[in-house]
Amino acid sequence: MSFGHEQLDVYLVAIEYVAWAYRLCEELHGHRNAKDQLLRASQAIALNIAEGNGKATGGDRHRYFDIARGSALECGARLSQKHAKAAKPKPAEDVLEACGAISPQAQAEGKQLLDRIVAMLTRVGRRGYPVSKEILAYRTQAIDPDPDADSDPDRA
């Protein structure tokens, strides 16, 4: 059995990004604030997708998907902000790369996942409907529509 949000491709990519962020943070020595904020924002993407998909109204759903999208953009900013103390940072440098904490390859990998997440959340937020399994898939026998005790042989 799975929940509706587990069927969303964007949720699966968000979980992939959370795993990527955890692996990155395990390798980071120091940079405590950057690690904490990156982990929180990465988790917020997946958690808001899950919570938003379960909301009954389109407005609520859109709000949670927008929050998830904002968290993804926040993660991207952590990977792309220029280092304030660098004399002349190169265009590709970011805070963690400029500090020597991550490689350009790691930065590109994280940004690729985030780009997919932002694009998918932009599309799914416009659709306005949740994803869920068909309830009928769980039925194993026919349901007798009337409450009497007979088996309704004419309906078989």
Q: What does the alpha-carbon distance between residue 146 and residue 144 come to, in Å, rounded to a whole number? A: 6
Task: Give percent above pLDDT 70 in the chain.
Answer: 67
- Label residue 11 exposed, middle or buried (CB < 10 Å: 0-12, 13-18, 19+): buried
Q: What pLDDT was estimated at residue 17?
A: 96
Phi-psi region of 134 (alpha: psi -120 to 50; beta: other; left: phi over 0): beta
Q: How many domains does the chain have?
A: 1
- Are 22 and 39 within 8 A, CB to CB? yes
Q: What pLDDT was estimated at residue 27?
A: 84
Average pLDDT over the chain, rounded to whole?
A: 76
Helical segments of the chain, H only: 9-27, 32-53, 58-80, 95-98, 104-127
Q: What pLDDT was estimated at residue 85?
A: 45
Q: What is the mean pLDDT of residues 89-96?
A: 47
- Judged against a pLDDT cut of 70, whether residue 2 lies above it is answered with yes
Instruction: Tally Cβ neighbours within 10 Å of residue 138.
Output: 8
Q: What is the mean pLDDT of residues 124-140?
A: 52
Instruction: Tally Cβ neighbours within 10 Å of residue 34.
Output: 17
Least confident interval from 70-79, 116-125, 135-144: 135-144
Q: Which residue has the higher pLDDT, 147 or 61?
A: 61
* Residue 51 belongs to domain with CATH number: 1.20.1440.60
Residue with tokens 């792309």, as numbered in its chain = 80
- Judged against a pLDDT cut of 90, whether residue 154 lies above it is answered with no
Domain that holds residue 145: 4-155
